[in-house]
A and B are shown apart, each in its own frame.
Chain A
């Protein structure tokens, strides 16, 4: 086209980024890549080969090696060997390496960007302006954590070897999110990139060599899902996975009970809420960033649009107009908005989901922009006319597909937003700060953006609620995912305290009978008889009859969870009030100390001194929990925007607590007190052997103004009670102290709705230890961090007048 024609048409025309450097790099490797193990490239001869393609053109880019079991084992062994030394060289030395990696990413930013776009299909603008700069930022930030590790995380150590499996949507960024914190904390890693997009990870291996990283600290094994499974199941201490919720559940089940530390960053169907008082044009651009960024292949994509009815028509019209201006094309064209989806397989998956949605009644509007003739392209799509049961409203599409619905009121918006199994992110558009800051905490999601979307920073934790997984990446909470308290390795094996086989039945006495005492369950603030109508005899340490407790069954669990769910307003009770109630519980326990001491001596055979100590410590723990109730402050991050990110601690929700037999009063009090101090409502299964200490305790709860349903006590067999709890969808988290097998069961079953679990993995915690039960760490166990991004600014950038 001539200049004259261009002058008439005013078309942009392609502006292609050069790929010469990438082509040369690929050619230098003969188009073939091995595995990066122990600082060296290995190319096992009989290993399967996988071809990797550029989705934008369909051309083959290179051939990858699929790791075999022995290769994964070799990588893990190399990581294991390297780990001790890597941790011992200290935070400052690790900081130097991470700093060098950050610098190298910047020095090679162009070739990395081009390679990323070619391999993944994403627009060069995004890889160049977003992905790769964030990679560098992540290494810089974590160089800092390495430097500060000993100061910031005293009494912690590296977990060990981390097995990390990442997805294809942000190949290098996800790699950085995994490797940077792991290395900073002193771990070594075995990384398995996605088979569609392994090339930047392989180039990163070369950067590790360039940085002189010690051998074995970073190992990269390529292959398909089976190789990922090998990494997960290998002798690693920590598994970190980003990917689909389905695979996340499989991983959790497969490592259940192993004691491997786990973080899962999974799928989402994040709401994007537009209130009538929003900057509507701004919100339209927000949608472009939410669902047409990276072709919608973003776990936190704002894929469910909720628009207030009064502005819906205007808003949809604006949105459709905007869609007409989206440019779709070659990933290296600097003049496009939307690139190719990662592979034809993904394109077909999107098409199938759209078809299903249409079959269920959805209406489809697609971007009318011209589409490239070849490559895996899918047009930006708006879906309307759906009910809440439509596949496209419920299921993650992982493509450029936005499903829209209207709402009437703020409360309805929140209801619709939370009507999902997922909980990764949420976006709120409103010019009212009162409204936005009220809605943000009401959304069940780990990341909230106000008047903006898809903002990321290494200092601000990223991760979800519900079936979007658990654990955070970035920031302080992200570092904790790669650290463990030093005391953990000193824990001894746990064993339940068996009741005597035979219970001596009390003999009939003479004279006036005593008044019968019935220990009931405690549900919804009321004493409740067991649903099954059965009781279990509890004995003293000498085997004498001490009393009967209700034999709980799954219906008692159901009732207790229901009561706990109803009481969740507790989370909104202010810290001062929570503290007052906990102090009051402590006060009332103090009144009855002698009674509890007597009970402890009688049941457990503890010395009078030990019993007094346990009651005393229980009072102290109640004080500690009360003290923390109004001090578990969040943080205000300063990400690189004009604005703040508020890291708010929120209660997990309904927490099931299965207590151990050791320290039966202290364990019950400690776990329950901190759980409720953090705002959770609880269903507590007290020690199976010594439940009477808990049933005695509910009278204290009753007299201490603890609202009904905040603490529910169900007595019964530990594992028989744990089973319905860990399957219960209404239970958000579970703390279990019991056998190794019991832990395995809980963790396996917890995978279904991604309960947050704290398990003892068959080890015995020492509840008398103030090191093992540090108040702030206990609060962290009972909470999730929600990061709320609040960009601000209104003043006109005016200047002095003439």
Chain B
């Protein structure tokens, strides 16, 4: 991760929020017709699926996580696709890994050790994940401890009431405080969009989070009733584009939760390419927060490699 990608943030510009208006029907028409406009087939489809894998934050966020489980997941992150499949595409030595491994604070050290030398960063969910309602001191301390434990990336959650009441200044202050606590670690801000009232709030929350120094904006904890969706993604990406046009700073995007099929993942990448451009199709600027997506991508890749539809048991379990 290069220093230049770290977002320094801006002062709080309430005026940047005033023009944000999102028409839900228009958003849905755009995302609804995208699949028909951007069919990705053959070699392009393989490339898009490999790209998707390289952008996965391979995630386990369960109360029953153990060190053994996390280590196995990390090995999967180092080598997410069977080598013979990659060889079939002439990519045997491409050193494909996932974008990161994402765990709770307790598992950071285990994951860092397991990923030693792989270049795969460890991301820690933080700040009282998923509800984000722990005391502020606790939340800030959680960030500091995860960074100290070796987490290169911190996925923070915001106080949803600030969004729901339109208290953008408070949201800005909160995220900015988290950013300071992150120090050199990359900060991904989870907006929990499934709990927002409408898409205009999603847009304003996105812009506020970027002004406050978020390096990524992320849809969801994966635990809301509705997590990542294409409409929400379109709204957030358009804010990233506007922020880039205002500041020259590229902010990353991470849809999380609910993306399970390879086909969906390809559609997300197409949306990123259309709305933000090729530059965002790199793990530095795009991640999937997903746990089961990888399995489907592996199966689809095997189909492309062999011409035969695959079965789950043929792929190494994470």
A binding-site residues for B, Cβ under 8 Å? 1-4, 6-7, 9-13, 15, 125, 128-129, 277-283, 285-286, 289, 311, 325, 327, 334-337, 431, 451-452, 641-643, 791-802
Given A12-B44, A798-B224: A325 touches B196 (CB 8 Å cut-off):
no
Which residues on B sit within 8 Å (CB–CB) of A2?
43, 90
Cβ–Cβ contact B43 & A6, under 8 A: yes
Measured CA separation A325–B30 after assembly (Å) = 14
Mostly, the A contact residues are loop
Given A285-B29, A802-B223: A279 touches B91 (CB 8 Å cut-off):
no
Shortest 6 CB-CB contacts between residues of A and residues of B = A799-B225, A282-B26, A334-B39, A6-B47, A279-B23, A791-B25
Q: Smallest distance from the beta carbon of B32 to chain A beta carbons, Å?
A: 10
Cβ–Cβ contact A125 & B36, under 8 A: yes
Q: Smallest distance from the beta carbon of A261 to chain B beta carbons, Å?
A: 37
Measured CA separation A564–B26 after assembly (Å) = 41
Q: Smallest distance from the beta carbon of B53 to chain A beta carbons, Å?
A: 11
B residues 30-81 touching A (CB-CB < 8 Å): 30, 33, 36-44, 46-48, 50-51
- Give the contact stretch, choosing among B7-15, B170-178, B273-281: B273-281
Interface membership of B17, Cβ < 8 A: no
Measured CA separation A325–B196 after assembly (Å) = 30
Q: Smallest distance from the beta carbon of B252 to chain A beta carbons, Å?
A: 16
**Given contacts A282-B30, A793-B28, could you give 19 more A-B pairs where the C-beta distance is less than 8 Å?**
A3-B47, A6-B44, A7-B50, A7-B94, A10-B269, A10-B273, A13-B41, A125-B33, A278-B21, A279-B27, A280-B21, A334-B36, A334-B41, A431-B23, A451-B25, A452-B26, A452-B29, A799-B194, A801-B225
Cβ–Cβ contact B50 & A796, under 8 A: no
B residues 261-315 touching A (CB-CB < 8 Å): 269-270, 273-274, 278, 281
Interface centre among A2, A10, A277, A793 (most CB of B within 10 A): A10
Cβ–Cβ contact A337 & B25, under 8 A: no
Name the one of B25, B29, B40, B196 contacting A798, with C-beta atoms under 8 angstroms: B196
Which residues on A sit within 8 Å (CB–CB) of B46?
3, 6
Q: Smallest distance from the beta carbon of B317 to chain A beta carbons, Å?
A: 25
Give 8 A-B contacts (CB < 8 Å), ordered by A residue.
Answer: A4-B89, A6-B43, A10-B48, A15-B39, A15-B42, A125-B37, A282-B22, A335-B38
Q: Which residue of chain A has the shortest Cβ distance to B201 in the bound complex? A: A796
Cβ–Cβ contact B47 & A641, under 8 A: no
Q: Smallest distance from the beta carbon of A686 to chain B beta carbons, Å?
A: 52
Q: Smallest distance from the beta carbon of A171 to chain B beta carbons, Å?
A: 20
Residues 193-212 of B, flagged 1 when their CB comes within 8 A of A and 0 if not, give 11111111110000000000
Which residues on A sit within 8 Å (CB–CB) of B95?
none
Q: Smallest distance from the beta carbon of B276 to chain A beta carbons, Å?
A: 10
Interface centre among A11, A311, A797 (most CB of B within 10 A): A797
Measured CA separation A282–B235 after assembly (Å) = 10
Interface membership of B229, Cβ < 8 A: yes
Cβ–Cβ contact B224 & A3, under 8 A: no
Interface membership of B162, Cβ < 8 A: no
Given A289-B29, A796-B194: A3 touches B89 (CB 8 Å cut-off):
yes
Interface centre among A1, A3, A793, A801 (most CB of B within 10 A): A3
Cβ–Cβ contact A277 & B41, under 8 A: no
Given A3-B91, A334-B39, A802-B130: A792 touches B25 (CB 8 Å cut-off):
yes
Mostly, the B contact residues are helix
Which residues on A sit within 8 Å (CB–CB) of B26?
279, 281-283, 285-286, 451-452, 791
Cβ–Cβ contact B44 & A799, under 8 A: no
Q: Smallest distance from the beta carbon of B40 to chain A beta carbons, Å?
A: 6
Which residues on B sit within 8 Å (CB–CB) of A431?
21, 23
Interface size on B (CB < 8 Å)?
Answer: 55
Interface membership of B226, Cβ < 8 A: yes
Given A285-B29, A801-B225: A795 touches B21 (CB 8 Å cut-off):
no
Cβ–Cβ contact A7 & B22, under 8 A: no
Cβ–Cβ contact B25 & A799, under 8 A: no
Cβ–Cβ contact B44 & A13, under 8 A: yes
Interface centre among A129, A792, A795, A802 (most CB of B within 10 A): A802
Cβ–Cβ contact B274 & A325, under 8 A: yes
Which residues on B sit within 8 Å (CB–CB) of A802?
130, 223-225
Which residues on A sit within 8 Å (CB–CB) of B278?
9-10
Q: Smallest distance from the beta carbon of A35 to chain B beta carbons, Å?
A: 35
Q: Which residue of chain A has the shortest Cβ distance to B235 in the bound complex? A: A281
B binding-site residues for A, Cβ under 8 Å? 19, 21-30, 33, 36-44, 46-48, 50-51, 89-91, 94, 130, 193-202, 223-226, 229, 231-232, 238, 269-270, 273-274, 278, 281
Q: Smallest distance from the beta carbon of B279 to chain A beta carbons, Å?
A: 10
Which residues on B sit within 8 Å (CB–CB) of A794?
24, 198-200
Which residues on B sit within 8 Å (CB–CB) of A282?
22-23, 26-27, 30
Cβ–Cβ contact A4 & B25, under 8 A: no
Measured CA separation A335–B193 after assembly (Å) = 30
Q: Which residue of chain B has the shortest Cβ distance to A310 in the bound complex? A: B19
Cβ–Cβ contact A285 & B30, under 8 A: yes
Which residues on A sit within 8 Å (CB–CB) of B23?
278-279, 282, 431, 451
Measured CA separation A794–B21 after assembly (Å) = 11
Measured CA separation A641–B25 after assembly (Å) = 9
Which residues on B sit within 8 Å (CB–CB) of A325?
274
Measured CA separation A11–B38 after assembly (Å) = 11
Which residues on A sit within 8 Å (CB–CB) of B199?
794, 796
Cβ–Cβ contact A337 & B225, under 8 A: no
Measured CA separation A11–B195 after assembly (Å) = 35
Which residues on B sit within 8 Å (CB–CB) of A125?
33, 36-37
Given A277-B21, A431-B23, A796-B196: A13 touches B42 (CB 8 Å cut-off):
yes
Q: Smallest distance from the beta carbon of B83 to chain A beta carbons, Å?
A: 15
Cβ–Cβ contact B47 & A10, under 8 A: yes
Q: Smallest distance from the beta carbon of A578 to chain B beta carbons, Å?
A: 35
Which residues on A sit within 8 Å (CB–CB) of B43?
1-3, 6, 13
Measured CA separation A76–B300 after assembly (Å) = 57
Q: Which residue of chain B has the shortest Cβ distance to A643 in the bound complex? A: B25
Name the one of A15, A311, A799 contacting B226, with C-beta atoms under 8 angstroms: A799
Measured CA separation A431–B19 after assembly (Å) = 11
Measured CA separation A335–B89 after assembly (Å) = 23
Cβ–Cβ contact A796 & B90, under 8 A: no
Measured CA separation A10–B278 after assembly (Å) = 7
Q: Which residue of chain A has the shortest Cβ distance to B200 in the bound complex? A: A794
Measured CA separation A285–B50 after assembly (Å) = 29
Q: Which residue of chain B has the shortest Cβ distance to A129 in the bound complex? A: B36
Measured CA separation A289–B51 after assembly (Å) = 30
Measured CA separation A337–B270 after assembly (Å) = 14
Cβ–Cβ contact B225 & A800, under 8 A: yes
Which residues on A sit within 8 Å (CB–CB) of B225?
798-802
Measured CA separation A797–B201 after assembly (Å) = 13
Which residues on B sit within 8 Å (CB–CB) of A795?
24, 197-198
Which residues on A sit within 8 Å (CB–CB) of B202?
796
Measured CA separation A424–B270 after assembly (Å) = 35
Which residues on A sit within 8 Å (CB–CB) of B281?
10
Which residues on A sit within 8 Å (CB–CB) of B47?
3, 6-7, 10
Which residues on A sit within 8 Å (CB–CB) of B198?
794-796
Measured CA separation A643–B278 after assembly (Å) = 35
Which residues on A sit within 8 Å (CB–CB) of B226?
797-799
Which residues on A sit within 8 Å (CB–CB) of B24?
793-795
Given A281-B238, A799-B224: A4 touches B51 (CB 8 Å cut-off):
no
Which residues on B sit within 8 Å (CB–CB) of A9?
278
Measured CA separation A720–B195 after assembly (Å) = 72
Which residues on B sit within 8 Å (CB–CB) of A283?
26
Q: Which residue of chain A has the shortest Cβ distance to B194 in the bound complex? A: A798
Q: Smallest distance from the beta carbon of A145 to chain B beta carbons, Å?
A: 28
Q: Which residue of chain B has the shortest Cβ distance to A325 in the bound complex? A: B274
Cβ–Cβ contact B90 & A4, under 8 A: yes
Which residues on B sit within 8 Å (CB–CB) of A643?
25
Which residues on A sit within 8 Å (CB–CB) of B27?
279, 282
Cβ–Cβ contact A4 & B196, under 8 A: no
Q: Which residue of chain B has the shortest Cβ distance to A790 in the bound complex? A: B25
Which residues on A sit within 8 Å (CB–CB) of B29?
285, 289, 452
Which residues on A sit within 8 Å (CB–CB) of B22?
279, 282
